[in-house]
Amino acid sequence: MSDAAWLIWLCAGRACFSTIFVAYSASLALLKADWAMTAGQAGLVQSAFHIGTVVSLFSIGFLTDRFGAKRTYLSTSVAAALSALLFGSLAKDFSSALLLYGLAGLCSGGSYTPGLTLIAERFPTARRGWAMGLYLAASSLGYAVCLFASSALFPVGGWRTALIVTCSGPLLGACIGYGVLRGTPNVVHPASGGKIGLAAIAAVWKNRPAMLAVWAYTFHCWELMGLWGWLPAYLSAAAGGGSASVRAASLGVTLSGVSYLTSVAGNITAGYLCDRRGRTYVMLLMALTSLGCSFIFGWMIGLPLSLLLAVAMLYNFSAIGDSSVYSTALTELVPPSHLGAAYSLRSVLGFGAGAVSPWAFGAVLDLVRSLSLPSDVWAWGFAWTVVGIGALPGPLMSWRLRRMPESRQMGGGLG
């Protein structure tokens, strides 16, 4: 199989695995009302998924170093498929959703970092940023497909049908994975300096350039997970004037899906640019653009939907654009035998911050609403501002990395 065909099929599998990531947020406007959840509880369910993902990615990074990326990818795909179907079929209230969505997150990491490692093993540095950008763009495509499917299914079968269908994506992803990786060798890299497990983590922690990339990714995740967790509910509220009707939810989720399509372009564009202009250049460009969106987006809720959609498209384009760049940078700043450990550490910090973000958003939303201010603009405005505040240190980390001599290890000397 050619490299291009292999990558396309691997990306197709990633798109299918990704539907579980937004299956809950796609239905959130309806679930919040039907399950009588506060905004804080609604955000906590999303956070449970991200906490599960943190544990998953931390463990899977070590498994990848120990047993190889292919074996880890395939062995975890079955658990991902089954746990997603359990959530879609059985979640019925806040408590059950908290447990089952958390379980789905716990089983969800096998297609992420092992997939990135497989790409790093197959593609040279000059093409790696583009390839990883395409892989993460496939994630965004999966999110968009999930949102469009949910929007179409709400009027037909309600949120339950939408959940079951969108939570079936990982099952299809597992089948694709077994097909595309059948002829791919399983590579286990020799341990660098005899360091494995926690010793490899310690080595990465002492690697200052790598840690600057990790910290930049961490603050990026705070912003990205807040955006993903609350964008459909926000646009649904804007479409319905605050109501939780099926029509408003369907329209809001459709608009979110349209904006998610721009994140596909964001990943591909950033991957292309970072191979030609350098890793840190793209990190700074995307992070500063998305920060601007974070600080203005919530205050726009009373404005025309067309304007909200335009900003949401720019927001999604830029907020996801640098994801693949951080992943690519790590492959160039740490030895191959430590890459799984580096991804584990990055995932714990990044998804750990991302796990708190949706809950913090919901908590601020509840807090400001309890003040009985004359307009809901204040609640949404401050909630989105919290997303921006948490992401503020990210560009500083990227700027510091750009100034280090070691940054020339990235992008063929472009930095």
* 54-78 tens-digit pLDDT: 888 888 877 887 888 899 999 999 9
Q: Where residue 104 falls among pLDDT bands split at 50, 70, 90?
A: very high
C-alpha–C-alpha distance, residues 363 and 343, integer Å: 30
- What is the CB-side half-sphere exposure of residue 415 using CA atoms within 13 A? 13
Question: What value does the mean pLDDT take over residues 351-377?
Answer: 90
Cβ partners under 8 Å of residue 176, min gap 6: 9, 12, 13, 16
Supply the pLDDT for residue 14.
95
Cβ partners under 8 Å of residue 329, min gap 6: 213, 279, 283, 401, 410
Here the tokens at position 289 are 């653009």
- What is the CB-side half-sphere exposure of residue 308 using CA atoms within 13 A? 21
Is 335 a residue whose pLDDT tops 90? no
**What are phi and psi for residue 304, nearest 5 degrees?**
-55, 145
Q: Where residue 349 falls among pLDDT bands split at 50, 70, 90?
A: very high
Supply the pLDDT for residue 243.
59
Here the tokens at position 125 are 């540095």
Here the tokens at position 121 are 């093993």
* 163-213 tens-digit pLDDT: 999 999 999 999 999 999 998 999 887 665 545 567 888 888 999 999 999
Total-model pTM: 0.78
Domain ranges of the chain: 3-181+194-413
* Three-state SS annotation for 214-244: HHHHHHHHHHHHHHHHHHHHHHHHHHHCCCC
Q: Helices 3-34 and 39-67 sit at what angle, rounded to 10 degrees?
A: 150
For the chain, state the CA radius of gyration. Answer: 20
Supply the pLDDT for residue 375.
85
Q: Which of 210, 148, 206, 146 is nearest to 172 (CA)?
A: 146
Distances (CA, A) of 147 to 12, 20, 228, 298, 415: 17, 11, 11, 21, 36
Residue of 89 and 411 predicted with greater confidence? 89
Dihedral angle sign, alpha carbons of residues 410, 411, 414, 415:
negative
Angular region, 124: left φ>0, alpha ψ -120 to 50, beta rest: beta
Supply the pLDDT for residue 223.
96
Distances (CA, A) of 124 to 132, 215, 247, 328: 11, 25, 48, 11
* 384-415 tens-digit pLDDT: 999 999 999 999 999 999 988 887 877 766 76
C-alpha–C-alpha distance, residues 180 and 178, integer Å: 6
3-181+194-413 has which fold? Growth Hormone; Chain: A; (1.20.1250)
Q: Please tell me which of 9-13, 155-159, 338-342 the model is most confident about, judged by mean pLDDT.
A: 9-13
Least confident of 7-11, 59-63, 285-289, 306-310: 59-63
Question: What value does the mean pLDDT take over residues 262-274?
Answer: 86
Supply the pLDDT for residue 195.
52
* 197 in Cβ contact with 181 (< 8 Å): no
Here the tokens at position 236 are 């649904």
Is 91 a residue whose pLDDT tops 80? yes
Is 331 a residue whose pLDDT tops 60? yes
Supply the pLDDT for residue 260.
85
As a whole-number percent, the residues of the chain with pLDDT over 70 amount to: 96
Q: Helices 323-333 and 279-297 sit at what angle, rounded to 10 degrees?
A: 150
Least confident of 112-116, 164-168, 207-211, 306-310: 112-116
* 377 in Cβ contact with 362 (< 8 Å): no
Q: Which of 212, 226, 375, 368 is nearest to 295 (CA)?
A: 226
- CB atoms under 10 Å from CB of 130, counted, come to 22
Is 96 a residue whose pLDDT tops 90? yes
C-alpha–C-alpha distance, residues 45 and 102, integer Å: 7
Dihedral angle sign, alpha carbons of residues 394, 398, 399, 400:
positive
Supply the pLDDT for residue 197.
64
* 272 in Cβ contact with 137 (< 8 Å): no
* 218-248 tens-digit pLDDT: 999 999 999 988 998 899 889 876 555 778 8
